Every structure is written in C-alpha cells, then in structure tokens.
Amino acid sequence: TFAQRRYQQYTCYTVFFISIEMCQIADVLIRKTRRLSLLQQGPLRNRILVVAIVFQVSIGCFLCYCPGMPNVFNFMPIR
C-alpha cells in the first residue's frame, strides 16, 4: 500500500543519514591516524574530538528516535 511505501521511504532517509554520520566519524578517525595508529596516539588524547563524536552520535539518535521526526525531517525509527 501507499502507507507502507511511505514508511519504507522514510526509513531509507534515516538509514542514509546514519550512514553519512558513520562515514564522517570514520573520516575523522582516518585523518587523525594518518601517521601513527590509534593505539599509539591514544584514543582519548584529543578530548574535543571525542566530545564531538559523542555529540554527533547523540544528535543522530535524537533525530532518529525523537517523536515527531516523521513530520519534520521525514525520519522513521530504525528497528
């Protein structure tokens, strides 16, 4: 039905958004470990980076699971 297709479309929007977030986190970790590995540098050495990653993940979770997001951003919760 049309409602099922709309639900699937909104879920695809959400999955695409989360995949972009994951790629951005991977990019920042790749840029950080260009010369030394993550364990040699110390994963918690740059506290601003850790806070930024946690903030980005929390914003993503908020946008995916907050009630009312299907009306605002066309996002549906991922099962």
pLDDT in tens, 30-47: 888 877 777 777 777 888
Is 77 within a domain? Answer: no
**Percent helix, percent strand, percent coil in the chain, to nearest 5:** 75, 0, 25
Q: Residue 63: pLDDT above 90?
A: no
Q: Whole-model pTM?
A: 0.80
- DSSP 8-state class, residue 33: T
Q: Give the domain extent around 55.
A: 2-72
Is 79 within a domain? Answer: no
Per-residue pLDDT at 59: 92
Is 78 within a domain? Answer: no
- The span from the CA of 5 to the CA of 65, in Å, is 20
- The span from the CA of 68 to the CA of 64, in Å, is 10
Is 38 within a domain? Answer: yes
CA dihedral 43→49→54→58, nearest 10 degrees, is -160
What tokens does 79 get? 């099962």
Question: Based on the structure, what is the number of domains in the chain?
Answer: 1
Using DSSP, how many helices (H) and how many strands (E) does the chain show? Answer: 4, 0
